[in-house]
Amino acid sequence: MAAARPHRWLRWPKNAAPHGRAPRLAYGADYNPEQWPREVWDEDVRLMREAGVNIVSLGVFSWARIQPGEDEWDFAWLDEVMDLLHANGVAVDLATATASPPPWLTALHPEILPVTATGETVWPGARQHWRPTSPVFRSYALRLAEAIARRYADHPALAAWHVSNELGCHNVYDYSDDAAAAFRTWLRARYGGIEELNTAWGTAFWSQSYTGFDQVLPPRLAASHPNPTQQLDFKRFSSDALKEYLRAERDLLQEVTPDVPITTNFMVMGESRGMNYADWAGEVDFVSNDHYVRPGAQALDELSFSANLTGNIAGGRPWFLMEHSTSAVNWQPVNRAKAPGEMARDSLLHVAHGADAVCFFQWRQSAAGAEKYHSAMVPHAGSDSAVFRSVADLGARLTRMAPLAGSRRKPAPVAIVFDWESWWACEQDSHPTSLLRYRQEALDWYSALLARGVRADVVPLGTPLDGYGMAVAPILHLVREETAKELVRYTEAGGHLVTTYFSGVVDENDHAWLGGYPGPLRELLGIRIEEFAPLLPDERVRLDDGSVGTLWSDDLTVTDPQVEVLASYADGPRAGQAAITRRATGAGSAAYVSTRLGSQGLAGVLPRLLERAGVSGELPPQLRGRVEVAVRADDGAEYWFAVNRTAEPVDIADLGGELLDPAGAAEQDGARILPPRGAAVLRRPIS
Ligand code: GLA
Ligand code: GLA
C-alpha cells in the first residue's frame, strides 16, 4: 500500500456560500455548461444559489471545447464560467478535462485507442477511448492538464483539482501492444527474472514456460482458459497502470499549484472491481466516490456498504460524494425514478458514512447525447418540478447540518474485511463453481448485521483489526502467509474471526495451499477440507439449525477437539458433517461457515457468533433492523444518523440526542417519527 498523503480538504474560496470559511458540507454537481447556450448559464447560477449549491465539478468532458486542435486553445468561455461561478459563491472542483480525447486527436493518433482481448479496436464515438499505458495519449493529456492548471492556478474559485474522471470505468482492461510492453515492464519489476515468473505462473503446466519477457502477453483471447496467475497479474497490473496515470497528472498539478488539493472520483459501487481503491487512496489528498443505486431488495444496504467502505478507505476521514443521481439513471436495463424522499435519504446515508460533500451527476439534464434520460438537479421539466424542489430542500437541510462537517466515522464494533485480490482471484474461470460472488457474500453479512442493529465497518484487508470485537472475512480466498499470521495474532489477542467457504485456498500467486484446505488457516480454524462440494443452481442443503445453504458445501473434518460445531449438514451426501464451526483460540476464536446462507440465513447463526464474541447491538431492541444507525464524531459531539430501512414510520425517540435538522423527523408528544425513506441526524454532546 502506498504511503498515505496527509489529508487535505477543499480550499474554500473566501466568498463561498453560505459564508466564507465557516464549516459546511459541499453541495453541487458536475456542471457541463458547454452543452448550453450562454444565456442558460445565468439561469444556472441563479438556480444554484436557490438550491444552496456551493461547488461544481467543471470541465470533466471539455477537452474538445478547450483544445479544438493540436495547437488551438479556447479558454475564453471557461474563464467566463469560472468568473460567473465565483461571483455567485460557487467553488470549483476543476477537472483536468482528460477523460474523453477529441476526434482530432484520435484521427491524428489512432494508436491511443484501446484494444479488447479479442483484438478489436475500441473506436472513438463514446468516451474514455484511450489506453492507460499509451505514451502518446499521456503526453497530450498532460499538456492539456498543464495548460488548465497554469491558466487557473490563481483563480479564486478553484477549490480542488479533479483528475480525469472515473479512471478505468470503460478502459481498465486494454490488451494493446502498449499494454503488452507496459505489462512486461511491470512483470520484470515484480519478478526480476523470467524463471521467477515461470515459477509464479506455474508455467510447467500446459507447456507455457517462457524463455524471455518479450514472449509474455496480456491474457488475450486464447484457445482455452488462460493461465490464472497471468490473469491475476494482469488485473494487478491494470489497476497499477491507471494508478500510475493518476500519479502522473497529480504530480504535474502539484508542481503547478502545491496548495490545491487533488482528487479523482472512485467507483466503489456494485460489481465495479477493476481498480484496487484501497491501494489508490493514498495517492489523493481526499477520497471521492461515485455511487449509483441498483434496484433490488438490498439496494439501500448496498449503498451503505459502498459508502462505508469508501469511508474506511479514506481512513475514517471525510470524503467527497462526487456523483450520485437525483432520480433515474440511463444505463440500467430499466431506469426507475426515485420515490419522494429517496434522493435525500440516499444522500444522507453517504453523509452518515463520512461524506462531507453531496454531489450529483449532473447539474442540468442534457437535451442531447447518450445521457439525456439521466436525471439531474435541473430536470428537462425545468426548475418548476418536484426534482428541483427536492434538490433545493436538500440544500437547505445540508446547510443546517454544517456543524457535523469535519467529523469522523466512529469505529464500529464489527469489521467486515474486504479484499480486492481475493475478489479478483476467487471469481476467475475454471473454478469449482462459476456462480460464486465475492461482493454479494460480503454484502449479505453486512445486511445481516444491519438487521441485528449492529454497526459494522467495511474495511480493506490490512486495516488493523485490534479494535474490533469481531471481524468477518468472507471468502478470504487469497491468503498470504503474513495475513494468516496476522489473523492468528488477532484471535489470540481476543479477536473473534469469522470466515467462510473458499477461504485460505490459494497464495498470492494463485497456487493452491497444499495439505488440505483452508491452507494456512487450517490450524487456526481447527478444520480440514479435502474436497469442495459446490451445489448446482437449484440445489439446497439443510443445516440442523434450520438454515438452508446454497452455492457451496465442503467435505469438512473437524481436526481439533476444541472446535465447537455450531451447525451440521442435515441432509445430502454430507449429512452429519460439520457445516459451521468455531474454535476458541487464546482469548478469541475463529469460526468457519462452509455454505452460502444469504442475509436471511445468516440471521440464524449471527446471534450465536456475536454473543460468543461479546458484541451486542447499540440499538434498543425495537429499532434493530428497522433503522440503520451510523455514527460520526468530533471533539464535542457524536452525530447519530438514523435511516429508515422500512416502508413504515419509525419512532426513534429512544435514540436520544437532539435533531440537528428538524426536517429529519417529526417531534410530537415525546415521539420522534422518522417517516418512510426518512433520515435524521441526532446530535449527542460528549460530556
Ligand atoms: C459516471 C460518469 C458520469 C456519468 C454518470 C452517469 O459516473 O462519471 O460522467 O456518465 O456515470 O451515471
Ligand atoms: C458504468 C458507470 C456508470 C455509468 C455507466 C455508463 O457502469 O459505473 O456510472 O457511467 O458505466 O455506461
DSSP 173-239: ---SHHHHHHHHHHHHHHHSSHHHHHHHHTTTGGG---SSGGG-----S-SSPPPHHHHHHHHHHHH
In this structure, what C-alpha cell is assigned to residue 370?
447518450
Q: Do 377 and 344 form a contact (C-beta atoms < 8 A)?
A: no
Cα(first)–Cα(last) distance of the chain, in Å? 38
Report whether 525 contacts 499 (CB < 8 A): yes
414-613: which CATH number, 3.40.50.880, 3.90.1150.10, 2.170.140.10, 3.40.190.10? Answer: 3.40.50.880
471, β-bridge pairs = 415, 497
- Annotated active-site residue 658? The verdict is no
pTM over 0.85: yes
Q: Answer whether 331 contacts ligand 2 (Cβ < 6 A).
A: yes
Q: Which ligand is nearest to the CA of 100?
A: 1
Alpha-carbon gap, residue 164 to 381, rounded angstroms: 30
Is the CB of residue 663 less than 8 Å from the CB of residue 442? no
- Written out in words, the top-level CATH class of the domain with range 623-685 is mainly beta
- In this structure, the strands spanning 650-651 and 91-95 are unpaired
* Alpha-carbon distance values, 303 to 221, 531, 599, 677 (Å): 35, 36, 16, 14
Dihedral angle of Cα 303, 32, 344, 288, to the nearest 10 degrees: 40
- 574 vs 281: CA distance, rounded Å: 44
CA of 153 to the centre of ligand 2 (A): 31
Q: In what order do the strands lie in the sheet with 470-473?
A: 456-460, 414-418, 470-473, 496-500, 588-593, 578-585, 563-568
Mutate which of 321, 330, 361, 372 for ligand 1 pocket (most atoms within 8 A of beta carbon): 361
Q: Which pLDDT belongs to residue 586?
A: 85
- The helix/strand/coil state of 571 is coil
Decide whether any atom of ligand 1 lies within 6 Å of the 165 Cβ. Answer: yes
For residue 458, what are the contacts with CB-CB under 8 A and spacing of at least 6?
305, 308, 309, 312, 415, 416, 418, 442, 446
Query: What fold does the segment set 26-406 form as a domain?
Result: TIM Barrel (3.20.20)
Mean pLDDT by 10 residues, the chain (687 residues): 77 74 89 98 98 98 98 98 97 98 98 98 98 98 98 97 98 98 98 98 98 98 98 99 98 98 98 97 98 97 98 97 98 97 98 98 98 98 98 97 97 98 98 98 98 97 97 98 98 98 98 98 98 97 97 98 97 96 96 98 96 94 97 97 97 97 96 98 94
Are both 26-406 and 414-613 of the same fold?
A: no
Q: Which residues contact 143 (CB under 8 A, 6 or more apart)?
A: none
Nearest CA to ligand 1 atom 4: 361
Q: Is 667 a catalytic residue?
A: no
CA–CA gap between residue 436 and residue 670 (Å, rounded)? 48
Please check whether residue 376 is in contact with residue 32, taking contact to mean a CB–CB distance below 8 angstroms: no
- In short, whether 323's Cβ falls inside 6 Å of ligand 1 is yes
Q: So what's the pLDDT on residue 5? A: 84
Q: Is the CB of 292 under 6 A from ligand 1?
A: yes
Sign of torsion, CA 382 384 385 386?
Answer: positive
Asked if residue 289 has its Cβ within 6 Å of ligand 1, the reply is no
Give helix 177-191 / helix 228-256 axis angle, nearest 10°. 100
Which of the ligands is closest to the CA of residue 369? 1
Distance 120 CA to ligand 1 centre (A): 24
**With a 6 A CB cut-off, is 246 part of the ligand 2 pocket?**
no
Query: From CA 231, how far away is CA 430, in angstroms rounded?
Result: 12
How high is the pLDDT of residue 1?
A: 45
Select which of 302, 323, 421, 441 is catalytic.
323
Closest ligand relative to 373 C-alpha? 1
Q: Can you give the residue ranges of every domain in the chain?
A: 26-406, 414-613, 623-685
